[in-house]
Each structure stands twice: as structure tokens, then as C-alpha cells.
Structure 1
Amino acid sequence: MPYTQIALDIDGPIATITLDRPDKLNAFTGVMMAEMIAAFDETDANDQVKAVIVTGRGRAFCAGADLSAGAATFDYEKLGGARSASPVKDDGSIDWRHPATRDGGGQVTMRIFRSLKPVIAAVNGPAVGIGATMQLAMDMRLASDTARFGFVFARRGIVPEAGSSWFLSKLVGLPQALEWCMTGRVFDAAEAEKGGLTRSTHAPDDLLPAARALALEIAENTAPVSVALTRQMLWRMAGAPSPWDAHRLDSRMVYMRGRSGDAKEGVVSFLEKRPPAYPDTVSQHMPAEVFPWWDEETW
């Protein structure tokens, strides 16, 4: 599809999604939401793509929600368009299963959560609000030393969104998540790395090369189906109540993968001391039937 507020570039095994409203500091809109979801649909369907990098055009990663609607920015009933149908019933109660109540940033993070390819954030500048929370469903976050982060929701009279109440504490621990969200302050790349939000900090010109090097390490050495399954296993089991849940899932996955052409190639290429050439593809060899949670949950 043609994109207007993002760009999707595929170079060899790496896809780069660039938030592309530099004159607005890549502020998040409904159009950007739809285009990001479509881009992840495209990267999942393309077996050439082995990893995805997300970055921003210009001096910002994403400055948060576009505030051009002023006081109505977070009032979905006043925004019009596709969300104008009201979930408010005649008796004044709210139908919480109505699609108009869904958080737009959360729709993006849940799509990233379901990605079959590893996702790397290359945070090139300010990342505030949804600019910070959209990264949480990504697998690795690298930052420029010019990056700034802010979970500023309490300072805007709202609350953390985009699934961040689930993701953030798993990444940085509950005390750090509470401090950043309850103060709503903006902090620098050094604090983000110290707090465990980012993996590493880089000079601006070194950021994308470092992200690409990490993506290539995955693309050139690992089996895409195994990476896709590993990504889902680790994320989904992060909320499992018992290690027995993980043991059951691990056992199924090891059994199924052990019979695959990839497992044979992984062993033989190691013994022959040569780069692997994994035969299985994500589009054809994902064992979706073993995942009771594989399909997206209904709203």
C-alpha cells in the first residue's frame, strides 16, 4: 500500500519502518496508526524480511500524540471520523466492547506484539507518550545520545496507554516503571539505559549502523521460524502463572522443531563449519495449531 506518514524500506533481510512526519516531530495520528499496522502485516508476509528496525525521520523519534485537536485530543467522541460512533448507551453507561473505546496506540503495540519478525527500535531523538510506549513491544531498543524519553500521561491528565502497564514493568521493574509514570518527567538516554529501557546508547551517526548490525546478526545466523517462535514464547510466557506453562510449551516446540529441516541444517552446518541455509519459511512453517492464543484476542 502507499504510505504517507511512514516509510517502509526493505534492504536485503532487513526492513526499516521510518516514522515520517519530520515537520511535526513524527507526532502520532490515526493515519500513522493504520500505516504502521499495515507495514507490520507486510513484513510478516515477506519471507525475505528477517528483522525490522523502527526509527524516526529528522530530529525526533515520535513526540507523542498529535495535539492539534487541542482539548479534544484524547476525547474520542469529539474527534469525529471513524471513531465518531458513540459507545455511550442511552442510559449513560459505556459499552466497553465497542471499537470506539480502543486505544489507537494500543492497536499498534498489539500488532507489534504479534510480529513474527524481531523488532529493533532505533530511537534517534525525543520519544514521548506513544513515542515511548510503542517501543515497549519491540524486542531491543537502541538510542541516540540525543534521545529523550517520557511517560508523560499523568502530566496530560490521562494514564499510560498502548499496553504499557503490562510491558513497562516487565522490562525495567515495577519501582522504575512507577517512578517514570507517576512523575511523568522527561529523561535522557543515559537514564534510559541505566534503568534498563534501552540496550545501548550511540552517537547519532552510529545509531542506525548499530541497529542494522544487530539485525544482521539475527538474520545471518538464525532460523527465521525458530526466531518467530522464540519471540512469541518469551513474550507470552512473561505473563504465565507457572513455569509448568512454559515447560509444556517448550516441550511441544522442541519436539516439533526437532523434526524440521531447520534443525537438521542447524546441526549439519555447525559440524561442517559453514554458514547455515535454513529451508523453512515463516509463511509456510509456523505451527500455529499448537498456540491456543495465536489468533488476536477479540475486543
Structure 2
Amino acid sequence: MSNFLQIEREDGIVTVRMNHPDTRNALTTPEQIQEFVDLCAELRRDKSARVMVLTGNGSAFCAGGNVKDMHERGGIFAGSPYELRNTYRDGIQRIPLAIYELDIPVIAAVNGPAIGAGLDLACMCDIRLAAPKAIFAESFVRLGIVPGDGGAWLLPRIIGIPKASLMAFTGDAIDAAKALEWGLVEQVCTHETLQTEAQALARRIASNPGHALRLCKRLLREGQHMRLDSLLELSAAYQALAHHTEDHQEAVAAFVDKRDPDYQDR
């Protein structure tokens, strides 16, 4: 294993730090990819987890692919066109699928540059906070390639087709202030308070019943491609499940009694 991810758990909050600061947390090895996939599989099984915070150690959030490997046609960029196609499908493309299938909310605390696959990784998260030094670039075209990890699907759903097209066609970077203006991030924090703000938001999310969070996130995901009538049917089914949980009864009782609820994930 590459020990790429540092993982901490506390009170339902799973904090994940990409920890290769010497490569600016470039995401290119099969071992790194497998760590993400394994973590997501574990969190799908762990019903005590309620929210995940993803950030980077060092000066960058994630610098994307390793350009040196691209230049040398080595690592995951080696092989024939057919082999490369399968490398993408069996490699980095597993990350957006794994994160997309996570039932718990995911917060990206973007501490520095999020470039190429790094931007797309941030877009796989549900909510993004940024430090002032964060920059964002859908920079694939500048290397003569295209977004290979879902960016062409993810980015337009967050900032819209025109702005996503501008970023993808130019490869230009935008700063944190522009990212906030465009809705790519929800908040710009000082560098010193970014992690504190991300953890505070995570605690606000984690204070809610776990089953309701998971069902709510699934509805938001399914709503991106379902008709309204189909989504309403799914919503009715999920609501029926939620009404018959102990945590729903506890939430209602606490509201009536004007006290803090005590959820047991039942």
C-alpha cells in the first residue's frame, strides 16, 4: 500500500487527508486509487460514519496526474491505446463511481491547488470549502488530453455548461474568489480556519440521524437523472422507511420536549 490516505474517525466524522505533499498529492498510482476505493467500500458498510471530510496535506489539495509519468509514458500512462483505455476504466475511473455511491455526505476542504483530476476529485464531493490560496483548473486540454475521470459530467452539474466549457476549453485556472462567485465552492475561509470550518460543518451534518442523511443524499443523487414523478415515488418509499425508525421518533420527541436528541442509528 502507498499509505496515501491518512484517516481519522471521531463522533461519526471521518477525516481523510491525502498525504503525499512531496508530489502535491498527485493521484496516479494503482495503490492510491485502490485506497480510495477500499475506503469508500468500508464507509458504505460502517453505519456509524455520518460524514466525510477530504483534504490534502502540504501546499496542494491534489495536483492531478503525474505529468512526468505522462512524458515518459510510464506508470498508468504506459501501453497501447487499448491498454490505456482499460487502465482508465479499471483505475482512476473507479474513484468517481466509489465516491458517487457513498451514502454519507462528503465535504472537500480545498487547502491549495486542485488541478485536473484534483479539481474533478473535489467535484465528486457534495460540498466544497476553500482556502484563499486554492486554485482550480480543468487543465487537461493544455496537455493535449481530455477529462478522463468524470470531470465532463461533474463540473457542468456544479457551475453550468458555459462556465464548465470555458474552464475545459481554455484550461485556465480560477482563484478561490472566482470559484465562490461561480458556485464551485460554498465558502472561502482563511488558511488557518479552513480545517476548523470544515470540521464545524461536518459536526452540524453529523448531528442529524444517520439513516436520514443517507436517504437524503441518495434522493439528491437520483434526482439528477430521474423524472419528477419517479423521484416522488422514491421519496414516498424512503419517507415511509424513515418514519419507522427509532431515530425519527426520538427527533420528534426531542422537538416536543425542547431537548437535545439522542440518536442511536436505529
Alignment deviations for residues 182-201 of structure 1 (CA, whole Å, 9 cap, x no partner):
11111111111111100010
Give the whole-Å Cα distance in 2 for the aligned partners of 1:64 and 1:205. Answer: 24
2:4 match? 5
* Deviation of 1:45 (Å): 2.7
- Report if the CA contact (8 A) 1:105-1:134 is conserved: no
For 1:76 and 1:146, the matched residues in 2 are separated by: 29
- Residue segments in structure 2 that go unaligned for 5+ positions in a row: none
Q: For residue 245 of structure 2, what is the amino acid of its counterpart?
A: S
1:195 aligns with 2:182: yes
**Contact 1:124-1:147 within 8 A present in 2 as well:** yes
For residues 203-249 of structure 1, give each alpha carbon's deviation from its aligned partner in whole angstroms, at most 9, with x where no partner exists. Answer: 111000000000000112x1111101111110121122x21111111
Task: Give distance in 1, aligned partners of 2:103 and 2:38.
Answer: 14
| 1:228 corresponds to | 214
- State the shift of 1:66 in Å: 1.6
Q: Distance in 2 between matches of 1:59 and 1:144?
A: 11
CA contact (8 A) 1:8 1:39 kept: no
CA shift, 1:113, in A, is: 0.6
Find the counterpart in structure 1 of residue 95 from structure 2: 108
Equivalence for 1:279: 264
CA RMSD of aligned residues (A): 2.2
Aligned residue for 2:67, secondary structure, equals coil
Indicate how the Cα distance of structure 1 residues 274 and 74 shifts in structure 2: closer, same or farther if over 3 A, else same: farther
Distance in 2 of aligned mates of 1:103 and 1:202: 36
2:252 aligns with: 267
Instruction: Confirm or deny: 8 A CA contact 2:92 2:149 kept in the other structure.
Output: yes
Specify the SS of the correspondent of 2:9. strand
Q: Contact 2:115 / 2:137 at 8 angstroms: preserved in 1?
A: yes
Normalising by the residue count of structure 2, what TM-score does the alignment of the two structures yield? Answer: 0.92
Contact between 2:99 and 2:125, CA under 8 Å: does it hold in 1? yes
Letter in 1 for 2:194: L
Are residues 1:252 and 2:237 paired? yes
Q: Distance in 2 between matches of 1:74 and 1:160?
A: 19
Change (3 A) 1:52 1:76: closer
Query: How far apart, CA to CA, are the structure 2 residues paired with 1:77 and 1:211?
Result: 34
Cα offset for 1:280?
2.9
The 10-residue stretch of structure 1 (63-72 or 30-39) with the greater mean CA deviation from structure 2: 63-72
- 1:9 and 1:27 mapped to 2: Cα distance? 21
Q: Which runs of 5+ in 1 are unaligned?
A: 89-93, 282-299
Q: 1:9 is aligned with what amino acid?
A: E
1:208-227 alignment to 2 at 5 Å?
208-220=195-207, 222-227=208-213
Paired residue total: 265
TM (norm. structure 1) is 0.82
Q: Quick check: 1:103–1:162 contact (8 Å CA) kept in 2?
A: no
- When residues 198 and 77 of structure 1 are mapped into structure 2, their CA distance, relative to the original with a 3 A threshold, is closer
Match for residue 296 of structure 1?
none
- Could you say what secondary structure the match of 2:129 adopts? strand
Q: Conserved in 2, the CA contact under 8 Å of 1:52 and 1:118?
A: yes
Aligned pairs for 1:110-129 within 5 A: 110-129=97-116
